[in-house]
Amino acid sequence: MALRGVRVLELAGLAPSPLCGMILADFGAQVVRVDRSPRSAMNADVQGRGKRSLALDLKQGPGAAALRRLCLRADVLVEPFRHGVLSKLGRKDENPYAPVNLLADFAGGGVMCAMGIIMALYERTKSGKGQVIDASMVEGAAYLSSFLWKSQNLGLWNRLRGENLLDSGAPFYETYKTLDGKFMAVGAIEPQFYEQLVKGLGLDSDKLPSQLSFSDWPEMKKMFAAIFSKKTQAEWCRIFDGIDACVTPVLSLDEVALHEHNKERSSFIKNDQEEISPRPSPLLSRTPATPSPKRDPFIGEHTEEILLEFGFTKEEIAKLHSEKVIEFNKPKANL
């Protein structure tokens, strides 16, 4: 895979850093998650695919020293703390991250961080030097919204919230409830798609206001909503299937992996626990990601083998264990 041979240390955290680590692992990197003690922390990382776990108490001097020693053999260190915390290993009562959300934590944080790491690894092949990637979720989310900033002069956002083209103001860019309580998503912005939408709804475009007649949008939305409410989601899918109207069903998590498009693309995968998750993206033609089929690691499951790989002797490992700097958590065999 593309990142084969790259060694990554990921300090356990919430949301952005686990996703970043999982992306790197999916594309071939050897990712070691440095966890807190199993006794004092919940294993909240549901993005542990392809990682191994080392339980290490960084608040003790020997634990911090062990981390610095691990870093000597690593290519990448991913840490989720606030600025300056890593340099003060041992600080108590760090505030938790905000609740999970796709825009800031995952897109603005985790994906941007992974992208920065890959760019830095590529640049290292030319300069031979490493660098620090500062991935701010706020700045990452702002960068993702570049279109919003740069399109302000196009008249897309000059009305009140909920009255603009892309914020549910337009009747042709909205979700509508169906007869069976499900929803259809409509995104027919371009005129040719809008024309197909109108036909699918059984309407005559010549008898309707202009598509961009903003003053008529509220009444148009009511009309579209009333029409969508008279048929089930399945019935609307049959009507719009194969028509370029940009009308699609809003699927539940259970339904999305079973959708024909996603099955044909193999967009979802299962691990050996039969858990379903999205396939890594993007799809590389020559060195595609091959995500691990194994379950996520238990905290401390690989402590000993990781330290041995990074040059620690068995005597040093035994001493760290006796001082409760590290912990082992070998899963019991099911007989």
**What per-residue confidence (pLDDT) applies to 191?**
93
Angle in degrees, 0-180, between the axes of helices 137-144 and 112-127, rounded to the nearest 10: 100
Exposed e or buried b per residue across 135-166, where buried means at least 16 C-beta atoms within 10 angstroms of its C-beta = bbbeebbeeeeeeeeeeeeeeebeeeeeebbe
What per-residue confidence (pLDDT) applies to 176? 94
Both structure tokens of 80:
């989720």
Cβ of 334: how many Cβ atoms within 10 Å? 4
Q: What is the DSSP pairing of strand 247-250 with strand 183-187?
A: antiparallel
Residues 74/11, Cβ–Cβ less than 8 Å: no
pLDDT in tens, 30-55: 999 998 866 544 455 677 888 999 98
Which pLDDT tens digits describe the chain residue by residue (335 residues)?
Answer: 778 888 999 998 776 788 888 888 887 889 999 988 665 444 556 778 889 999 888 888 888 899 999 999 999 898 887 666 666 554 334 343 334 477 778 788 888 888 888 889 988 988 999 889 898 888 888 888 877 777 777 777 878 878 888 888 899 999 999 999 999 999 999 999 999 999 999 999 999 999 999 999 999 999 999 999 999 999 999 999 989 999 999 998 889 999 988 999 999 988 888 888 899 888 888 888 888 888 888 889 999 999 999 999 999 999 999 999 999 987 776 55
Selecting among 93, 105, 180, 204, the annotated active-site residue is 105
105 assigned to active site: yes
- Give kind and range of the element (H or E) at residue 56: strand 51-56
**Calpha distance 70→312 (Å, rounded):** 9
Prediction pTM value? 0.66
The CATH number for 7-141+272-327, chosen from 3.40.50.10540, 3.30.450.60, 3.30.230.10, 3.30.70.3340, is 3.40.50.10540
The class that CATH gives domain 173-250 is: alpha beta
**Is 173-250 in the same CATH topology as 7-141+272-327?**
no
The domain limits of the chain are: 7-141+272-327, 173-250
